[in-house]
Amino acid sequence: MTMILNDELLRAAAHQMTVQTALLLPREELPLSSSLQEKMHGLLWRTKRQQKRRVMWQRAAAALLALVIAMGAVLAVSPQAQAIAKRWLMKITDVVTTYRLYPATEETASWDGLPQWVGEGYELTFDMQGDNGVRTLRYTSPQGDILLQRLTLYGTENTVEIRSRATDGFSNLQGQRPQGEAGVPKEYTMTQIGIGPYEAQQYAFHTGTEYVDSSGDFGIRFYHDGEWFHHVAVLRGSTALIWTDEEARELFLLIGKNAHDLQRMAESIY
């Protein structure tokens, strides 16, 4: 039988090789000499210093990004591509969709709005509140998973990016991120819908574009002070819903395969 070295096969093989390679790392440790310990402590100290410098750069870059986004109205960006609400602003260019999330000044009383409707066969298998302010819930079923994430807006200003293959590269040390030109991304489509009383965006990530291979081609990345702290990889063919709940002061992100089910699930929160 002829084997085709496509991305899927390479990914499976590389995953297996990664597991086998990790096994090579011995369990036992050798003691470090005093000279190596000294060098390593120097490295740790230097890393701290470099990180402080980097944070300063990133803060400056974040301020610049905020200015650029705030001036979105005067940039050559489609008016339809921008939406301003109380606590968020969105900008779309040909390579990236960016949300700027304004911090809430007051914390709300604890609100545990969870979907009252979940598709048949789905089971809540994971619920964790991260230190980074993101609560993650995973609903698992044989036909695929649904991921619900909630990011509190209290006290911090964050940005969120919808990334695709065209969103080239990570942020550099100065926190510069792809800005793009006027237009809309080709690798996914965005539709405005309503979830409860709130405006929401529904993203459909295309299955067949020149950019995609077979998985992990899209991502939703959360930044604080120009540094990304949370990333969700999204496979092609998936759908994502994003909305900001002004009362709960939270950003909601719902990802899965079936757009209709996602919308129904999101609406059942209200």
Partner 1 sequence: MILYTQMIETEGEKRLFEEAYTAYCGRMLALARQRLSSAADAEDAVHQAFLSLAERFSRLACLPRTQLEAYLVVVVERKCIDILRQRARQSDMPFCEEFSLFAPPPSGNTVADAMGKLNPRYREALLLRYGCGYSTAETAQLLHLSRGAAQKLLQRAKGALRERLEKEGERV
Q: How far is the CB of 192 from partner 1 (least distance, A)?
A: 23
With 0-12 CB in 10 A as exposed, 13-18 as middle and 19+ as buried, what is 46? exposed
Q: How far is the CB of 244 from partner 1 (least distance, A)?
A: 20
The Cα–Cα gap between 103 and 158 comes to 8
Q: How far is the CB of 2 from partner 1 (least distance, A)?
A: 4
Q: How far is the CB of 123 from partner 1 (least distance, A)?
A: 14
Pick between residue 72 and residue 218 the one whose CB is nearest to partner 1. 218
Buried b / exposed e over 76-100, threshold 16 CB at 10 Å, is ebeeebeeeeebbbbbbbebbbbbb
Given a contact cutoff of 8 angstroms between Cβ atoms, the answer to whether 81 and 196 are in contact is no
The Cα–Cα gap between 106 and 246 comes to 12
Pick between residue 35 and residue 105 the one whose CB is nearest to partner 1. 35
Pick between residue 5 and residue 67 the one whose CB is nearest to partner 1. 5
Pick between residue 30 and residue 67 the one whose CB is nearest to partner 1. 30
Pick between residue 24 and residue 109 the one whose CB is nearest to partner 1. 24
Q: How far is the CB of 26 from partner 1 (least distance, A)?
A: 4
Pick between residue 16 and residue 192 the one whose CB is nearest to partner 1. 16
Q: How far is the CB of 197 from partner 1 (least distance, A)?
A: 28
List, in order, residues 6 or more apart from 224 with CB less than 8 Å away. 156, 157, 158
The Cα–Cα gap between 194 and 192 comes to 7
Scan for tokens 């779309």, then name that residue.
Answer: 92
